[in-house]
Chains A and B, each alone.
Chain A
Amino acid sequence: MTTTTQAAMDAAELMSFEDAIETFEPVLGFEVHVELNTASKMFSSAPNAFGDEPNTNVNEVDLGMPGTLPVVNGKAVESAIRLGLALNCTIAQRCRFARKQYFYPDTPKNWQTSQYDEPIAFDGFVDVELDDGEIFRVEIERAHMEEDAGKLTHAGTSGRIHGADYSLVDYNRAGVPLIEIVSKPVTGAGSRAPEIARAYVSTIRDIVKGLGISDARMERGNVRCDANVSLMRPGAGVFGTRSETKNVNSIRAVEHAVTYEIRRHAGILSAGGSIVQETRHWKEDTRTTSSGRVKSDADDYRYFPEPDLVPIVTTPQWVESLRAELPEPPAKRRRRLREAWGYAEAEFRDVIAAGLLDQIEETVAHGASPAVARKWWMGEISRLANARDVEPAVLGVEPATIVELNDLIQAGTINDKIARQVLELHLDGAGAPAQIVQDRGLEVVSDDGALAAAVEKAMAENPDVVEKVKGGKFKAIGALIGPVMKETRGQADAGKVKEIVLQKLNMNSS
């Protein structure tokens, strides 16, 4: 880099996003790493588990001990094929692993076993749904299998290996199966580039989650995105120099990082500078990127075919049987469910955001109406989950319980308010809803005599309300329900109360 370029870079300020898009055409590219949730690692029998004591989920293979050999995890290969199919890729009939060689202490053998010129899946696409429902197609170049590296923790102020007082290495993650999904360059995104980036990563996450091949938790690094950004002048026909932003570990961060890089590139380019091809690190706190390793095409990983592994052969029968069992693509499923349930767009979006699509679908499958299912999950269950500081999906409410509660309401055995109490008791371990109702005598008062007496008492104590009702203000009956509930310790059915009031006044509500 020349000094003038450096000076121009330093001097350059971020351009506003609007101006940047006005002046340049952004080109995006994504490398998404998906950590598989297989029981064991990619090439060893050690457990694939997150969060354990450092260097406990390792064996001699993971530590690259002399004499050890890798063995391919068949389940991981199956996951890779299924993901490849879900990304509309061609599945290679024969593919190999290769050694990607570089010296770094998080890599026990000083090479990463990956796939180079023979990926298991290639030439696919994924349709991404944007906020306004528009579909944008991202072409997939390849999806290949590889192993994760260990985790380094650098002590000292630098936060990097250089300048650290010392570095700690945990090889629990070394050898965890990964699939890297590489997109083709995404052009024509224009001002929607950040939104497309977010939607793309979100879609990939939903796909792997739907396939059940990964825990897909971005905060744990199960899905990691490297976002490439470059800018070109409209009509230039040649891509600009790209930067590769790593550690973008949330859906929102992908959008912010792409926005930031577009603005940064535009600032440098319009100040006469040039972009350095480099790795950049995303910093969530400042929502900026910072310069990492300068990367060039001259990086020489000395790839060669892994001689310790035999080629992987995928028979057409195997691939077709996996294709036949693929779940419905997330976008398609969402459209189908939204139509079937008749939710308003905003309602549906809230359900997605709350992560309750599966729960509601299952509740409906158990016999609840879509409206009832949504009312419970988005209402009381979300409230309880919030109070207990957990995600509603993992609160511990079974769809069958909701249906049981709803049946009790429909049968007039309990009312809504009691039902909420029952749910809370159920969560605290008091048993099944019907059992709780029976054990605690929570049935609605159905003894007409007792209820009629309570209503009469309430009417006698509230003559003004009775007058209003007589005058045709049926809504005023609500003011009588409270006292009746009090009298019956909450076990009255509001509809029934209304019926009795009208009966006594020789009126009907129709």
Chain B
Amino acid sequence: MAPTPDSLIRLTAAQMSAKLRTGEITSVELTQAHLDRIGAVDETINAFIHVSGDEALQTAAAVDASRAAGGAEAEQLHPLAGVPIAIKDLIVTKGQPTTAGSKMLQGWMSPYDATVVEKIRTARMPILGKTNLDEFAMGSSTEHSAYGPTRNPWDITRIPGGSGGGSAAAVAAFEAPLALGTDTGGSIRQPGAVTGTVGTKPTYGGVSRYGAIAMASSLDQIGPVARTVEDAALLHDLIAGHDEKDSTSLAEAEYPEGRIPSFAEAATTKNVAGLRIGVIKQLQGSGYQAGVLSRFQEALDQLRDNGAEIVEVDCPSFDYALGAYYLIMPSEASSNLARYDGVRYGTRVLPESGPMTIERVMGATRAAGFGDEVKRRIILGTYALSAGYYDAYYGSAQKIRTLIQRDFEAAFERADVLVSPTSPTVAFPLEDKLDDPLAMYLNDVATIPANLAGIPGISVPGGLSEGLPVGIQFLAPAKEDARVYRAAAALERLLNDNDEPPLWAQVPALEEVTR
């Protein structure tokens, strides 16, 4: 029996790929099914800022034609050709608007494609559209978007995490099988945790940042968002690699075996026997919800029962990670966001009265174009970099960063991967923390250390607490991204053996709650 549109969207990307290859389904059917789903639920979810249906269907039709042509043309198709994807609206796309979730870039069209988008286009994946985010990726709830908040498909009164709530919610709600995110302090992993999806922050330099609108250059990474570990790995394989346009991107030769390993292959791991898993002492206990800790403990038990060696590792400098992060990130952000001044592109706002000087036009533009959270971080960063304060703030934060890297090095002496809850809580209600920036910042306490150290991390679903997803995070040494896929794939299998259907399939039927 031919799959129905509703069953099509519930396939994994790997399954879609297989069915496209055998000709069981076409990319046009698959893409249209997702566009229909977006049409049905996105008014509620608000995962997309822009939907590019025509372009997606054109790509799909071209892939179908290549497939139908057979021979070399069909054989040369990338495994993900024809599988649709959504792109976080922080990543620039030619021919489609890119807003960064900000009024500042309303209507702006990038004259160039991000390197990852070039790769997506080369692989001929239909691009469904651009997903919602906290403005300039600053936030943990996607409420700081100039285009309205995104809702969590598990409970539409709750946040989908942030900043990449749009990508995570789109994938969780079957609006897209795959999405791209960016992770500066947890913006891929924390939304993954609270929406029951998988998200990877690659090793810093593992994926080109060219075309990812910068928040904090030394922390930002683009990564995959998916429903399964294998799907995330498939997308990661596509986007990884050196880019001559990004000086901080890693060359193949810098990887342990002189090449970038296949993450999809790593994700086929079935067992964890002999794997040394380090539990980070500092990333549990107080501040973590009981339900989150229960799921975390159960995950550890499962891993131990299946032959993993669980050890506890001490990372004392992690206590200062949040503080260091909230100096380094705003410092770099204050600089990266200086270009939005209304002179060359984007929004320009003229002062309502008084002299029309360039400074006043820049000031009026930035006052009107940026939201409160962005302004908060620009002010914080500008202060931290000021003469006389630089050493005390930015300088000290960089020292802590070094200490955190050393803590990780020591921990990885004793463990192959490290593990923690991804987020201290499940999805919280919309507006719950909007007026309390510090409470909001604490959501990223477990994800931030990986960004400060430049190491890879993944969040994989670890079950539900009070009906809401809990995420488990695995971390590995830099350039050992394959290890997080091995560990996460193993845990995914262990949990799904006991839990049929898979967690991501348990999302409530959204049509019933659509308002």
Contact = CB atoms under 8 A, between A and B. Distances in A.
Interface of A: 60, 63-72, 99, 101, 103, 105, 108-111, 161-162, 167, 169, 298, 300, 302-304, 307-310
12 contacts: A65-B92, A65-B110, A66-B100, A66-B213, A67-B91, A69-B247, A70-B247, A101-B385, A105-B343, A162-B357, A302-B382, A303-B385
Given A66-B213, A71-B244, A161 B358 contact: yes
Contact of A65 (B112, B209, B246): B112
Interface string B376-417: 000000100111001000100000000000000000000000
Interface string B209-250: 111111011100000000000000000000000001111100
Contact of B338 (A69, A103, A307): A103
A101 B336 CA distance: 10
A307 B332 contact: yes
B331 to A, nearest CB: 6
A101 B343 contact: no
Shortest 6 CB-CB contacts between residues of A and residues of B: A110-B338, A307-B217, A302-B385, A307-B218, A67-B211, A66-B213
A310 B247 CA distance: 6
Contacts of A60: 110-112
Given A103-B338, A103-B362, A161-B358, A69 B100 contact: no
Given A69-B247, A307-B217, A99 B210 contact: no
Contacts of A64: 339, 344
Given A60-B112, A66-B105, A300-B386, A308 B341 contact: no
Contact of B335 (A68, A69, A99, A169): A99
B111 to A, nearest CB: 6
B114 interface: yes
A50 to B, nearest CB: 22
Interface string B95-135: 00010100001001011101000000000000000000000
B358 A167 contact: yes
Contact of B213 (A67, A99, A105, A169): A67
Q: Contact residue range for chain B?
A: 35 or more
Contacts of B246: 69, 71
Given A64-B339, A67-B92, A302 B387 contact: yes
Contact of A304 (B114, B247, B345, B385): B385
B387 A111 contact: no
A69 B209 contact: yes
Nearest to B98: A66
B341 A103 contact: yes
A481 to B, nearest CB: 72
Contact of A308 (B217, B244, B344): B217
Contact of B114 (A67, A103, A161): A67
A111 B217 contact: no
A103 B339 CA distance: 9
A300 B210 CA distance: 29
A172 to B, nearest CB: 14
A161 B343 CA distance: 14
B359 interface: yes
A68 B210 contact: yes
Given A101-B385, A302-B390, 6 more contacts: A66-B98, A66-B110, A71-B247, A109-B339, A303-B390, A308-B217
A69 B210 contact: yes
Contacts of A300: 386-387
A127 B385 CA distance: 39
A110 B358 CA distance: 13
B344 A63 contact: yes
Interface in B194-222: 209-214, 216-218
Interface string B478-503: 00000000000000000000000000
B211 A111 contact: no
Interface string B308-348: 00000000000000000000000110010011010111000
Nearest to A102: B338
Interface in B408-453: none
A37 to B, nearest CB: 23
Nearest to B382: A302
A71 B91 CA distance: 19
A69 B245 contact: yes
Contacts of A69: 209-210, 245-248
A105 B339 contact: no
Nearest to A167: B358
Nearest to A152: B358
Given A63-B344, A69-B245, A110-B338, A304 B390 contact: yes
Nearest to B359: A103
A78 B216 CA distance: 30
B98 A110 contact: no
B339 A72 contact: no
Given A63-B344, A67-B91, A71-B247, A304 B210 contact: no
Nearest to A299: B387
B370 to A, nearest CB: 14
B338 A111 contact: yes
Contacts of B359: 103
A416 B214 CA distance: 71
A496 to B, nearest CB: 70
Contacts of A63: 344-345
A171 to B, nearest CB: 8
Nearest to B366: A103
A188 to B, nearest CB: 33
Given A109-B339, A167-B358, A67 B212 contact: yes
A101 B386 CA distance: 11
A458 B216 CA distance: 94
Contacts of A108: 339, 344
A440 B91 CA distance: 72
A76 to B, nearest CB: 14
B341 A110 contact: yes
A67 B210 CA distance: 6
Contacts of A310: 247-248
Given A71-B244, A304-B331, A66 B339 contact: yes
Contact of B386 (A70, A111, A302): A302
A310 B249 CA distance: 10
Contacts of B216: 307
Contacts of B387: 298, 300, 302
A463 B18 CA distance: 115
Contacts of A161: 358
A111 B338 CA distance: 8
A70 B331 CA distance: 19
B244 to A, nearest CB: 7
A162 B357 CA distance: 7
B378 to A, nearest CB: 12
B137 to A, nearest CB: 12
B399 to A, nearest CB: 14
A68 B212 CA distance: 8
B415 to A, nearest CB: 29
A243 B244 CA distance: 43
B213 A111 contact: no
